[in-house]
Structure 1
Amino acid sequence: MKLKKLVLTGAAGRLGSYLREPLSKLCDELVSTDINDVGNLYEGETFIKADLANFDDMMGVIEGAEMVVHMGAIVDEAPFEELLGPNFVGSYNVWEAAHKHGVRRVIYGSSIHAVGMYPKNEFINTEVAHRPDTFYGLAKCFTEDLGRMYWEKRGLESVHMRILSAAQVNNPRALGSWLSYDDLIQLVTRCIDTPVTGFAVIYGVSNNDRAPVDNAKAAFLGYRPKDNAEDFAADVLAEADVLDPHDPGHMCHGGPFASVELGNSGLAGMNVIDDRKKS
């Protein structure tokens, strides 16, 4: 199945940089959009600078699309007022524009932070109640509920990928939470080419021995992750300090986001390396 037009929001971000090329091969026209430029374009790709918080921008970008891969957002905890436009209003704008233009499906980059306050020793599935660790996580809860409502009231399909951590494995938490870029690409591809999805929430995580979530609900997509963070375990554990079991940042699914004060950066406590792909 090859789509005529596919839209990718957040195309200038780290994860967007790895999705652009493979998504361009799934459609005749890939429209990549962001408030920042993406650099050189792939064959069949066009770029439109647009603001998620501007409804007219989203209407223009999404017109004619069959599906939208919505990865755009502020990707860290911040004061609510800063997140409101891109992370909350932006999601509404994407779904409403998709509905008005007859888009078939939205694939959304949700996050473990929607349920980040659950203890990590609870092997949670996607049916547990929302338990956000930050305003950032709250925006993910909002968008998951938005997607369910648009499916039940308006018939717009959506798949919400609760990504755990798609970054280099350089800390003990990542031994369970890692989503490799190859597995991310596979997951998004399966979200696109699965014939029928309705509304679905699944976890974005690789085939890690220490994965702390039950991802059985992703099986219907045909998602079969191949990478395993255990390959890095010996080196990571040899360099790690003893963790405090009373620190929510160590004990909760949300990691450092679970321990920061609301509005303060969660990424500041993580060693995330900006290894975005250059086009």
Structure 2
Amino acid sequence: MKLVLTGAAGRLGSYLREPLAAMCDALISTDIVKDIGTLYPGETYIRADLADMAQIAPVLEGADMVIHFGAIVDEKPFEELLGPNFVGSYNIWEAGYKAGVKRIVYASSIHAVGMHLKTDGIGVDAEHRPDTFYGLAKCFTEDLGRMYWDKRGMESVHLRILSCAQVNNARALGTWLSYDDLIQLVTRAIDTPSVGFTIAYGVSNNDRAPVNNAKASFLGYRPKDNAEYLAAQVLAEAPPVDVTDPGEICLGGPFAKVDLGQSGMAHLNVIDDRKET
């Protein structure tokens, strides 16, 4: 099996490279940086821009599946996201279709449904309610994946990741996705025999998880980690909740509050603990 990983230089990509290399005959990792450090056995790095079909199409030749994690991972003006997050997704699906790729596993996001309330308890079939242009790109790509399945029989699994980062705020007690659970989720999205078009939430087994993954249970994803052990410490340090603040009551957190085009990540204390090689 030959796999392609986009966004290999990113924080989440850094944790996926080793397990993906171990489960296939050849892993092609790609990003726009010059290099990604020491390569794992069976891994090759190819520098390519997602927004340039001429660069990305050759990377997908001969691939069985693509794990598509490449994108700008924050809210930006639409024009800045258009290339990597919108056109880049189209290029992956269209180039993948022409190359005979069986399946694409996509890093979608809770921000595709970020304006739903935490108390709604939504499932994987909730309607799109993007909180930003960034979330809109996730909606676009989910719909793109559905269309390519309906019209061309190309499978895809869209992982609506909540918060794959260290737990250092009250919201993360429910939204945390550990790196181990991320790896399990991606692995299940790859090794499940048939997926059609599937949406699944990327969240650990948190007591306070605000979403329901029941309709994606056929993937066999059974998260093992739970952020509750950090609850006492995190809540003791957390400020009082303002129940009129969209950033507090909506699934998108700060992304639900910021103006369109303004950074949501600037309001989150995300620690860059990427895995070094």
Length-normalised TM-score, structure 2: 0.99
Secondary structure, counterpart of 2:74 in structure 1: coil
2:267 is aligned to 269
1:136-151 alignment to 2 at 5 Å?
136-151=134-149
1:223-234 alignment to 2 at 5 Å?
223-234=221-232
Distance in 2 (CA, whole Å) between partners of 1:125 and 1:242 is: 28
Equivalent residue in structure 2 for 1:248, among 246, 257, 261: 246
**How many residues of Structure 1 are paired with residues of Structure 2 in the alignment?**
276
- Cα-to-partner distance string for 1:102-155 (whole Å, 9 max, x where unaligned): 000000000000000011111001111100000000000000000000000001
The residue type equivalent to 2:241 in the other structure is L
- Cα-to-partner distance string for 1:31-55 (whole Å, 9 max, x where unaligned): 0000012111011100000000000
Q: Does 1:118 align with 2:116?
A: yes
1:28 is aligned to 25
Distance in 1 (CA, whole Å) between partners of 2:25 and 2:72 is: 29
In 1, are the aligned partners of 2:114 and 2:252 still within 8 Å (CA)?
yes
Secondary structure, counterpart of 1:27 in structure 2: coil
Secondary structure, counterpart of 1:274 in structure 2: coil
Secondary structure, counterpart of 1:121 in structure 2: helix
Distance in 2 (CA, whole Å) between partners of 1:121 and 1:21 is: 37
Identity of aligned residues (%): 73
The residue type equivalent to 2:170 in the other structure is P
Distance in 1 (CA, whole Å) between partners of 2:214 and 2:226 is: 17
2:13 is aligned to 16
1:75 is aligned to 73
Distance in 1 (CA, whole Å) between partners of 2:187 and 2:269 is: 28
Distance in 2 (CA, whole Å) between partners of 1:25 and 1:58 is: 23
Q: Which runs of 4+ in 1 moved over 2 A?
A: none
Per the TM alignment, residue 218 of structure 1 is displaced from its structure 2 partner at its CA by 2.2
1:192 is aligned to 190
Equivalent residue in structure 2 for 1:7, among 4, 7, 19: 4
Q: Which runs of 5+ in 1 are unaligned?
A: none
Length-normalised TM-score, structure 1: 0.98
The residue type equivalent to 1:163 in the other structure is I
Which deviates further from its counterpart, 211-220 or 177-186? 211-220
In 1, are the aligned partners of 2:76 and 2:262 still within 8 Å (CA)?
yes
